[in-house]
Each structure stands twice: as C-alpha cells, then as structure tokens.
Chain A
Amino acid sequence: MSTAVSTIAVSTDLDLKADITVAGRNRLAVDDVARGVRLWRLAVALGWLDIRLRYRGSMLGPFWLTISTGVMVAALGFLYSTLFKMDLREYLPFLALSQVLWGFLSALVSEACTTFTDAEGVIRSVRMPFFVYSTRTLIRNFIALGHNIVVIVVVFAIFQIWPGWGLVEAIPGLLLWVIDSLALTLLLGAFCARFRDIQPIVNSVMQIAFFVTPVIWKPSQLGAGVDNLPFNPFFDLLEIVRAPLLGEGGTSSMTWLGAVIYSVVLCSVSWAFFVRARGRITFWI
C-alpha cells in the first residue's frame, strides 16, 4: 500500500491590502466572480446535493415538489375559475404557469438571504469565491423549477396547448432571470449576513408582491389599471417569461423596458454593495 501523496493543490496567489482604492476592490470582486465561474462544477454538485438532502429518505425525492405544486394548482384552479367566473380551459394553464414561475422567484428571493450564512462552516475554513455560493443557490432553485415544470407540461397536455415559438421567445427572459438571480443572491446574501432581521422583511415583501402581482389573477381583469402594471418590477420580470409561453404574442415592449430598467438597477446596487462588502462577509457570518 502506498502512502505517497500525489495530488497537487491548485496554486493560489494572494495580494490583499487593507487600504485599497475602489478600483482595487472592484478587481478583487471581479476576480471572485471569475474564480467562482471556474468552480461551476462544485456549484452544480452542491446545488444537487441540497435538493437530495432536502428530500432524503422520501421515496419520491424531489418529485414531492412536483406533487405539492400540482395539487395546489389543481385546487386553486378549480376554486378561482369559479370565483373569477372564468373558463377552466382558459384559466388553469395560466395558473399552472404563473404559480410555478412565481414559486421559483419567491423561493429564490427567500433563499438568497441565507446564501452565505448557510455556508458559514466552509467560508470560515477555506478561501472560496463567494460567487460559488451564489451559483449554488441559483442552481438549487433551477433544479426545483425543473421538477415543477412537469406540472406545466401535464396541464398544457391536458388542454392541448403548445407554446411553439414561445419556447424560444422565453429564452431571453430566462437569461435575464439568471443574471438577476445571481445579483440578488450576492446582494441579499451579504446584506442578510450583516443584518439578521432582513429575511423576515424580505418574506413579507414577497407575500405582498404575490397578491399585487398578477399571479393567480389575470392582468386583463384589472381593466384600465393594466397600464400601471409595468411599474411593478415583479410583473415585468414574471411577464417576460410567462407571456411568450402562454402564446399571447410575446411580451409588450413596455414590460421589457421595465424588466431591463429594474434589472440594471438591481445589478448596479448589488455590484456596488458586493464590491464594498466582499472582504467583510467572513466577519459577519
């Protein structure tokens, strides 16, 4: 038996100065993201692991997600199509899609808060790019979304709906989601590590957003008020993916404009905060 140690550690060069310029901090933050991207295989493994561990010991595993979403969509679908006096055929596909997409958004926002605090042990014992934990949160939520998509597929199949080109048209929206999600995990992850009362605040904001955003009700039910919807960032971001998939002839340019503006604001705020806070996160958790 050989005791020879043969695997060689990957080289790391560090140059950390306390009093550096904004440009210096910015370079370190860019470096963090670049190294984080290179560790994508770790982020994917950790994301999968989170899902596996969350559902360990259950026979269906992550498909419990699918079932609970399915039951919820069915229950809400029958109830609200009656309340809203809408045709089930028109309402249920809308609801299934909205509910699944919103589920992704709200879980992501909520889990963004614990992106860094959950990884406390690792952060304290090895130097890792913080971007890895952001990617991990993103991947975990995309895996959950992947399981829930089954609900949409089943509902669409029952009502024989085929989004066609809408599938392609939804891709730009999804890409924007990826960017925004990463920005949000960096921002909320760091901010919630510093201030521990943010997460409850974020959760109540999401609760309110769920009711004021057309998730279970249709934008058209608002009547004349529909023109004000693009001011709701949640609506814009939801609609850029949902509208093409519903085959409603794509998203209006106002919605896209809103989505892009809100995303630019989010990314700028997030980056500015991350550049400032990156070196301090370890002290906060």
Chain B
Amino acid sequence: MADSASILVENVSVLFPLYHGSSRSLKKMVVAAASGRLAQDTHQRVVVRALTDINLNLGRGDRLGLVGSNGAGKTTLLRVLAGIYEPVMGRLKVSGSLNALLDPNLGMNVELTGRENILLRGLYNGLPKSALPRLEEDVADFAELSDFLDLPVRIYSAGMVVRLGFALATAIRPQILLMDEWFLAGDAVFMDKARVRLEEMVRSADILVLSSHNTAIIKEWCSRVLWLDQGRIIADGPAGDVLNQYLGLPAEQPVSALG
C-alpha cells in the first residue's frame, strides 16, 4: 500500500463521442470512404464535452464535495478519478488504494445467493483468498440476512437487497473513497446504522470525494467544495464559501427576473 494517497488532475478534458446511426455501422463508413464522403462524415460526428480543463490536487486529509446541477459532470469526474474514463486531454495521477461507490449493485447477480455474491465481490476487488472469510463475515453481519444468506438474491425483499449492496460496497476500506449520492437512498431504520458504518469508512479514508445534491451532507462531511457547471469548474475552495456562492445562485435568479 502506498504511504500516502494523492490525486493529481492536470488540464483534464473528457469528450464523449456520440455514436448514432451511421457512425455505428462499419458498412456505412466503408461506403462513405469509398465514395469520398468520409471527411465530411467525420466532421458530422457529434462530440459532447463532459469535462473541460479540470485541475485538481488532493492529498491526505482532503474531503472534497462535488456540487452542481444534473449533467454538470460530477459523476463523470468521479469516473475519471476512478480511472474508468481515461482522459482524452490532460493527465491523471492517482496513488493509493481506491474504491469508487458508483453503482450500488456492482457485479451483483440476483440468481446467486448472498454468500456467492460476497465472494464474487471479493474476487472483483482482487482480494487474496485469505481475506474472503473475513469479508463474508463482515458483510453478513452488517446486512442482517441470517438464513437468507444462502438463498438467491432474487427472492430478497427490496430492503434486503439495499442492505446487501450497501454492506458490500462499504466492506472494503480504501485510502481514496469516491462516492456518488446513491448510497443516501435507503429505508430510514437502516439509515442510522448505515450512517455509522459510512462515517467510519469516510473517517478512515485519506481522501474523500463525494458527489451530492444534498448540500447539508456536503457541509457536514466535506472541508472543500468543487462547483461544476457544464463540465467546467465554477468555484473551488473552502466548503462554507463555495456552498454559499452555490446556494446563492438560485436565490438571485428570481430577483433579476423581477427586476
């Protein structure tokens, strides 16, 4: 394990090519090339700029919150940090173990039993065989599945699936924790317990990057906030300042509309 975790993002831009219709078809590309229309076709390719010129430097102890409207690029940025989307421009350097909580049901298969799902998750994370019994015990304990552990997830109640997904996602302790807001969903009884576990995980992580619409949560957990809009950084600074700026915006609009 690396001594100290760090994330360095330099001038990163992410462009999404939008493939639709004929650009998905080899036949049409070949026909276009043969008839000399390829150049024109390349220009017609629609590209969406998901992130533009992102610069970010995170070190031990940083707690970063990502705010912004839907489609601002929060999840894309998390995916870039996790190394899922490789930058088309710029550079990303990450050291330290990383866990990205992006999809609550990652690799979960409803036809498998709870126990099998736990083992599969361990394999996904490249854990050594010796770590698997501990993982199984921990998840089973937390998710309170008792006898259901050996039954297929297909027959679980919705709440049980949420508990299992959450327990799995939070069972592996990383140095760098990336979280999307999905984990805040869940039934209320479960939430208190989930909160304790999550807080513990957040505390033990060197770096936290949290994306959420819920500014109260951001305020509570994050010391620094990055405000994204249409893939660009609008503001980056201490949580209080940026959040005030961010929350101030919707309040200003009606005034200007009136004026």
Contacts and interface: CB of A to CB of B under 8 A. Distances in A.
B173 A8 contact: yes
A175 to B, nearest CB: 26
B115 to A, nearest CB: 13
Interface stretch (A86-94, A98-106, A222-230, A276-284): A276-284
Contacts of A23: none
The DSSP consensus for interface residues of chain B is mixed
Q: How large is the interface on B (under 10, 10 to 19, 20 to 34, 35 or more residues)?
A: 35 or more
Among B29, B83, B196, the one with the most A-chain Cβ atoms within 10 Å of its Cβ is B83
Interface of B: 1-2, 12, 16-17, 19, 24-27, 29, 79, 82-100, 102-103, 106-107, 109, 111-112, 119-120, 122-127, 129, 131, 134-135, 138, 141-142, 170-175, 193, 196-197, 200-201, 204
A186 to B, nearest CB: 17
B100 A9 contact: no
B172 A8 contact: yes
A9 B94 contact: no
A4 B204 CA distance: 11
B190 to A, nearest CB: 13
A11 B83 CA distance: 13
Q: How large is the interface on A (under 10, 10 to 19, 20 to 34, 35 or more residues)?
A: 35 or more
A269 to B, nearest CB: 15
Interface of A: 1-19, 38-39, 41-42, 45, 49, 52-53, 56, 121-128, 194-198, 201, 279, 282-284
B83 A127 contact: yes
A182 to B, nearest CB: 19
A198 B107 CA distance: 27
B97 A7 contact: no
A91 B200 CA distance: 69
Given A2-B141, A14-B92, A9 B197 contact: no
Contact of A6 (B17, B25, B96, B138): B138
